[in-house]
Homo-oligomer: A and B are copies of this chain.
Amino acid sequence: MANEPTKVLLEESQIPRNWYNILPDLPKPPPPPLHPATLQPIGPDDLLPLFPADLIAQEVTRDRHVPIPEDVLDVYRLWRPTPLIRARRLEKSLSTPARIYYKYEGGSPSGSHKPNTAVPQAYYNARQGVRRLTTETGAGQWGSALAFACAQYGLACEIWMVRASYDQKPYRRSLMRAYGGTVHPSPSAVTTTGSRILAEDPGCPGSLGIAISEAVEVAGGHDDTRYALGSVLNHVLMHQTVIGEEALEQLAMLGETPDLIIGCAGGGSNFAGLVFPFLREKLAGRMAPVLRAVEPAACPSLTRGVYAYDYGDSAGFTPLLKMHTLGHTFVPDPIHAGGLRYHGMAPLLSHIYELGMVEAVAKNQSECFKAGLRFARTEGIVPAPEPTHALAETIAEALRCAETGEPKVIVTAVCGHGHFDLPAYEGHLAGHLEDVPLPQERIDTALAQLPAA
């Protein structure tokens, strides 16, 4: 095996030509989103003020394959295909017979998997004549991906960044500006919602819910402006399937069949993007990998939430989505994996979880940072706090293999680098990060406020 490559690379001509839509391959469709007032399924027209027609069509399409436009492929080529890397040095440090492969998405312009959907979203908006996109961002991964994508198609990009992050994460804020984006701390005086909140509480640290409200308000109020969302929706998950499609191709080149696919899950787009193509192969009987989502113990929507209709945002402005949720009023502890601090899980992924097709486990933060450091010191890449969750489970599984002697083939994704999260690593190294158990009553309190549906 010494002559096998460490990295499996594909040619640009091997970038997938289609996104994969898992809907037609499921035994039954997921329950539809409901209008919060009428409790009736919402139609495509209800979404037109916020999204371009092409994306709304992708949200509900039953086509198994959706062609990737040439203009999107052209931007994907800046960093795709991404490498599949055999983690030989990590394996060696674990003395495991397992073979560990990771798909690395941190080499994208903004440093995560987010541009996979930001680029087509910007493209379809630009094609429809939209001049500006608005969005919210927490830690800034999504905002910087969208700012980059907008720069590619000449769109203005306006981002409401949760005030607490705006103050604490100046590098991410600067990255959005370097790409030409406009960044507002949220709440902001720019919107009615923000102004009202600031009038009541000038020092308000903001929340993702407030930032969504501001971005949606501006998009809804201007004909030339639309809104963009970085996870949760069907079309976002579909755009991310380029990750899994490439990984399938790369494993085939090695003649490897995966026994286990492990991905971190917050809103669900990274996990779905990696796993859905493998699930298709599994449903077709061509392979039989276990598919395992890893979520933070501080925000365990799959492992401790319920499957129910709930709002997508904390403020309760969105349609009702049937999903695994801790309740839209649930506020997770401030762990550093900001991208995993979401009260719900993508409806499509929640549905698939309900069908018993994927497993889920939850991890404490300190185990994850330990895994991140081990990965950095062996493989060289400092991973973002989000994928350290997948790495912690990968390492745990590889150590189980070391005990049993099983040469399992484990595939995971490092969905982003941790260059902007180094203060969190510093905190871990200094022993400042403590794992705080999540009491059941906090979940119960939030679940008591689920909307009636």
By a beta-carbon cutoff of 8 Å, the part of chain A in contact with chain B is 5-7, 9, 11-13, 77-79, 85, 89, 107-111, 115, 148, 151-152, 170-171, 173-175, 177-180, 373, 376-382, 419-420, 422-423, 425-426, 429
A107 vs B173: C-alpha distance when bound (angstroms): 22
Q: List 8 A-B contacts (CB under 8 A).
A: A5-B13, A109-B379, A111-B419, A171-B422, A174-B422, A174-B423, A178-B377, A178-B426
Residues from chain B with Cβ under 8 Å of A419 in the complex: 111, 171, 175, 419-420
Residues from chain B with Cβ under 8 Å of A179 in the complex: 376-377
Q: Is the CB of B5 within 8 A of A171?
A: no
Residues from chain B with Cβ under 8 Å of A89 in the complex: 78, 152
* Given the contacts A377-B179, A423-B170, A7 and B77 also touching, CB distance less than 8 Å: yes
**Most chain B beta-carbon neighbours within 10 Å: one of A152, A380, A429:** A380
Q: Which residue of B lies closest to A417 (CB)?
A: B419
Distance (whole angstroms) from the CB of A296 to the closest CB of chain B: 20
A79 vs B420: C-alpha distance when bound (angstroms): 20
A376 vs B111: C-alpha distance when bound (angstroms): 13
Q: Which residue of B lies closest to A110 (CB)?
A: B380
Residues from chain B with Cβ under 8 Å of A173 in the complex: 426
Q: Is the CB of B178 within 8 A of A5?
A: no
Distance (whole angstroms) from the CB of A303 to the closest CB of chain B: 29
Residues from chain B with Cβ under 8 Å of A381 in the complex: 109
14 further interface pairs, Cβ-Cβ under 8 Å (given A170-B422, A179-B377): A7-B12, A78-B380, A89-B152, A109-B379, A109-B382, A111-B419, A151-B377, A151-B378, A171-B420, A171-B423, A174-B422, A178-B373, A178-B425, A179-B376
A423 vs B381: C-alpha distance when bound (angstroms): 23
Distance (whole angstroms) from the CB of A308 to the closest CB of chain B: 40
Distance (whole angstroms) from the CB of A295 to the closest CB of chain B: 24
**Most chain B beta-carbon neighbours within 10 Å: one of A9, A13, A152:** A9
Residues from chain B with Cβ under 8 Å of A78 in the complex: 6, 85, 89, 379-380
Q: Among B13, B175, B426, which residue has its beta carbon within 8 angstroms of that of A382?
A: B175
Distance (whole angstroms) from the CB of A148 to the closest CB of chain B: 6
**Most chain B beta-carbon neighbours within 10 Å: one of A77, A111, A378:** A77
Listed from nearest, the 4 A-B pairs whose CB atoms lie closest are A109-B380, A174-B422, A6-B77, A174-B426
A85 vs B109: C-alpha distance when bound (angstroms): 14
Residues from chain B with Cβ under 8 Å of A11 in the complex: 5, 9
Q: Is the CB of B382 within 8 A of A178?
A: yes
Q: Is the CB of A429 within 8 A of B178?
A: yes
Residues from chain B with Cβ under 8 Å of A77 in the complex: 5-7
* Given the contacts A11-B5, A77-B5, A380 and B171 also touching, CB distance less than 8 Å: no
Distance (whole angstroms) from the CB of A154 to the closest CB of chain B: 10
**Most chain B beta-carbon neighbours within 10 Å: one of A174, A177, A373:** A174
A380 vs B114: C-alpha distance when bound (angstroms): 13
A190 vs B109: C-alpha distance when bound (angstroms): 40
Q: Which residue of B lies closest to A7 (CB)?
A: B12
Q: Is the CB of B423 within 8 A of A376?
A: no
Residues from chain B with Cβ under 8 Å of A115 in the complex: 380
Residues from chain B with Cβ under 8 Å of A175 in the complex: 382, 419, 422
Q: Is the CB of A422 within 8 A of B379?
A: no
A7 vs B108: C-alpha distance when bound (angstroms): 13
A378 vs B109: C-alpha distance when bound (angstroms): 10
A180 vs B372: C-alpha distance when bound (angstroms): 12
Q: Which residue of B lies closest to A9 (CB)?
A: B9
**Most chain B beta-carbon neighbours within 10 Å: one of A11, A173, A175, A420:** A175
Q: Is the CB of A177 within 8 A of B380?
A: no
Residues from chain B with Cβ under 8 Å of A79 in the complex: 380
Q: Among B7, B170, B174, B426, which residue has its beta carbon within 8 angstroms of that of A177?
A: B426
